[in-house]
Structure 1
C-alpha cells in the first residue's frame, strides 16, 4: 500500500498530515527514511513516525444508531456526517456499509474491512434488511400482498423481490427486503399508493440495533456479531 495511506491509517491522522510528515523526513521504513509519499510498502513493514512505531489498526466493525439529519458519508460540505458521531481513534479509516437516507434513522454499519463490507452490501448476496415505516395512511391488506409478491418501481422494468410485510397499528408497517435499490422502501410503498413519513432500520441480517444505543450512539460489534454477518 502507499506509504501516505499507511501512515494516515496507522497514526490516525489525515492523508495531508501524513504526506507532510513523510516529506519532512519524519517517517522511516525498515530503518530507512522515506520522503516520497507514493512509495509502496508492505503493510507488515516496520514503520516509525518521529521515532515511534506505528502499525495499522486491526479490523474495526461499528454499529451506529443513526439519527435523522445526518448523512451517510465520510465528508459533506453542508450536513453533519455519521463519522462526526464516532469518537474512535481510527474513525478516518472507516467507511459506511450501505447508506441510509439523511432523514432515515436506525441501524448503520461502518468498517475498515472491505471484504466484510462487500459481503453485506453487495446486491448479489441478498442480505435481508428490516425497516419500521410510519405511513401517511394505513397499509391495506391488498397493498401488503402486493409488496409480498413484488411491485414495479417507477422507472424500472422488473418487479422487486418479494418482501416480508407486517401491518401494524398507527399507520405503521414492518418490511423486510433483500435488495438495495435507490430509496427502495419509500418507492415500494409509493407503488401501492402510500407514502413513507418516517423510516427506521431495525435489523441487518440477524443483527438487531442495540436498544441501549440512543440516537447518535455507537459501539463496536462483538466478534461473533461480525462473524455471523459475514457468514450470511
Structure 2
C-alpha cells in the first residue's frame, strides 16, 4: 500500500493533507523519516505521525440492493451515484466489486479491500454471478434448449476473439430466466442474448458467489465474517 494511502486509512486526513505531512517530515517508517508518498508500506512496518503510531482501519465489506437509474460510480453522472444510499464515512475510499449498468438492479458488493474484490471480479477466480433476466421474446422449449446448450459451450460476442466462459441457463418462464456467469464483460448478459436473437428488457443480479440479495431496494448491510471469507482473503 502507498504511504499516503496508509495515512488516509489510519487517520482522518485526505490525500492532499497526508502528502503534506509526509513532505514535512512528520511521518516515520520503522523509525526513519519517509518523505516519498509513493513509498510502499506493509503490515509489518511501524508507521507513526508526529510520534503517534498508526494502524489502518479495518476493511469494510458492504452489500447493497441497487435501484434502477443509479450508477456504480463514486460520482454522479447522468444518473446519481448509488453511494448516496450508504451512511458511512470515507465513502471515497470504497469501490464496487463488479459494476452494474444504470438500468440494471440488484446485488452489488462494495469494499475498500482491493485484493478481496479481485477474487470476485477476476475471471480466473470463477466467481459465479446469478442474474434474473426478463426477455422481449418468449422462448419455446426447443429454443430454450438450443440457447442453454450454446451458453454452456460459450458464445462469440461481436467484436471479441475469445468465447464467453461456460454459462448456466435456467428457464423460469417463457420470458424469464436465471443466468449464471463467471465473468463480467462489457454489457455481457445483454450481448449474450442479442447474439441468440433476443433482447433483455430487465436485468437483476440476485447472487454473487454464496452471497444472496436479502435487503430491500436502496437498503444495505455489512457482510458477515462467513460471507467475507467465502470469497477468500
Give the TM-score range, shorter chain: 0.7 to 0.9
In the alignment, does 2:216 pair up with 1:214? yes
Check the 8 A contact 2:31/2:46 in 1, yes or no. no
Distance 1:78 1:17 in 2: 31
In the alignment, does 2:64 pair up with 1:60? no
Distance 1:109 1:12 in 2: 24
What is the number of equivalent residue pairs in this alignment? Answer: 228
- Structure 1 segments (4+ residues) deviating >4 Å: 20-44, 51-54
Mind listing any 5+ residue stretches in structure 1 that lack a counterpart? none
> Hey, what does 2:46 align to over in structure 1?
45
Normalised by the length of structure 2, the TM-score is 0.81
> Hey, what does 1:71 align to over in structure 2?
71
> Hey, what does 1:102 align to over in structure 2?
102
Look up the SS of the partner of 2:87 in the other structure.
Answer: coil
Q: How does 1:117-196 map to 2 (within 5 A)?
A: 117-150=117-150, 151-169=155-173, 171-196=175-200
> Hey, what does 1:226 align to over in structure 2?
228
Check the 8 A contact 1:126/1:178 in 2, yes or no. yes
Segment drifting more, 124-133 vs 12-21: 12-21
Look up the SS of the partner of 2:231 in the other structure.
Answer: helix
In the alignment, does 2:97 pair up with 1:93? no
Distance 2:208 2:104 in 1: 15
- Cα deviation, residue 208, structure 1: 0.7
Distance 2:165 2:31 in 1: 56
Check the 8 A contact 1:207/1:229 in 2, yes or no. no
Distance 1:90 1:98 in 2: 20
Look up the SS of the partner of 1:202 in the other structure.
Answer: strand
Tell me how large the CA RMSD over aligned residues is.
2.9
Check the 8 A contact 1:149/1:163 in 2, yes or no. no
Residues 98-146 of structure 1 show CA distances to partners (whole Å, capped at 9, x for unaligned) of 1111111111112222222112210112211110111212233333323
- Cα deviation, residue 25, structure 1: 7.4
Residues 7-29 of structure 1 show CA distances to partners (whole Å, capped at 9, x for unaligned) of 22222443124334556777676
Check the 8 A contact 1:147/1:188 in 2, yes or no. no
Distance 1:128 1:114, change over 3 A: same
Check the 8 A contact 2:71/2:77 in 1, yes or no. no
Distance 1:179 1:46, change over 3 A: closer
Normalised by the length of structure 1, the TM-score is 0.81
> Hey, what does 2:205 align to over in structure 1?
201
- Cα deviation, residue 38, structure 1: 4.7
Mind listing any 5+ residue stretches in structure 2 that lack a counterpart? none
Distance 2:187 2:12 in 1: 34
- Cα deviation, residue 65, structure 1: 1.0
